[in-house]
Amino acid sequence: MKKLVFTGAGVAIVTPFCADGSLNYPKLAELIDGQIARGTDAVVICGTTGESPTLTPEEHAEVIRFAVRQVNGRIPLIAGTGSNDTAFARKLSLEAQAAGADALLMVTPYYNKTSQAGLVKHFTSVADAVDLPIILYNVPSRTGVNILPETYYTLSRHTNIVATKEANGDISSVAKTRALCGDDLAVYSGNDDQITALMVLGGKGVISVLSNVAPEAAHAIAAAALAGDFAGSARLQLEWLDLCNDLFVDVNPIPVKEAMNLMGLEVGPCRLPLCETDEAKRSKLKVTLARHGLL
């Protein structure tokens, strides 16, 4: 059995920006410390929710270095280092390793995509180059490519490929992946509305957008399932389902940043091409936040 990077709820943390679009490092430090204080089990930096596509290579490397220093070993720090260019993904991964990241999160190649054989070669190339555990990230709604269970099985045989963040929404596919890979590939939910469902099948937790605004809730849903209290986990999952859904009322991370700003966390705007949401969606989000006592 491979060593788990974490169990429970890891936050896919936003990248805060100043009004002029520059990085807001003091706010990032505040967010990281707040997440740790409120029970989050891991921090994922420079992921989709962290707007990694609009970070320059220099910013990407510095944000990871900063986060490693701020976390300071208190919980695992997982660095997003995926790319649709294998050589660049290797470069980002080696930089994150040098910075002191505990693990890597690697999304499937997007836009140019690839075959299942290409996925194996892409991820293996990076896994061979580093000495860190790798969590794959399968989100076909964004990338246009889906990792099949049989491909997961092949990849799970690599020592450094230890887990996947599964966001394809296909519970049957997750069941087949679990049956094929067993303990050689941990599964984390990549969708906040499916935490309990994936953990019933043996998942180890979630990499969560919800955790940005309600870290205790995401942690509690996962913790109950880890303790075998699936009924309790399901009750909490359904209690928070409206917010899980409304945090995706627009393109992620537009709604979660809007929510955090409404809550007074002042994380700033998204970088273009992501722009602020419309008033109808903002109002819907505000009502849901208020319902949960977050405003």
- Structural domains of the chain in order of their starting residue, each with its CATH number: 8-227 (3.20.20.70)
Please give the model's pTM, rounded to 2 decimal places.
Answer: 0.96
- Residues 6+ away with beta carbon under 8 Å from 214: 240, 243, 292, 294
* Helix 86-99 vs helix 116-129: crossing angle, to nearest 10: 30
Is the distance from CB of 211 to CB of 9 less than 8 angstroms? yes
Asked if 137 is an active-site residue, the reply is yes
Using alpha carbons, list the distances in angstroms from residue 179 to 6, 13, 154: 21, 31, 13
Q: pLDDT value at position 237?
A: 98
Q: pLDDT value at position 78?
A: 98
Rg, the chain, Cα only: 18
Determine the Cα–Cα distance for residues 235 and 253; give it in Å rounded to an integer.
26
Q: What are phi and psi of 82, to 5 degrees?
A: -80, 155
Q: Which of 137, 188, 204, 257 is catalytic?
A: 137
- CA proximity to 60, closest of 41, 34, 79, 40: 79
Q: pLDDT value at position 141?
A: 95
Tokens read off for 213:
């605004």
Report which secondary-structure segment, H or E, holds 102.
none
Is the distance from CB of 186 to CB of 163 less than 8 angstroms? yes
Report which secondary-structure segment, H or E, holds 18.
none
Q: pLDDT value at position 19?
A: 94
Identify the bridge partners of residue 130 per DSSP, sorted by sequence position: none
Q: Strands 161-166, 77-80: parallel, antiparallel or unpaired by DSSP? A: unpaired
Q: Which of 27, 165, 204, 257 is catalytic?
A: 165
Splitting the chain (295 residues) into consecutive groups of 10 residues, what average pLDDT does each group show?
93 97 98 98 98 97 98 98 98 98 98 97 98 98 97 98 97 98 97 98 98 98 98 98 98 98 97 96 97 97
Asked if 165 is an active-site residue, the reply is yes
CA–CA–CA angle 131, 136, 139 (5° rounding):
160
Tokens read off for 61:
């490397």
Using alpha carbons, list the distances in angstroms from residue 65 to 33, 42, 53: 16, 16, 18
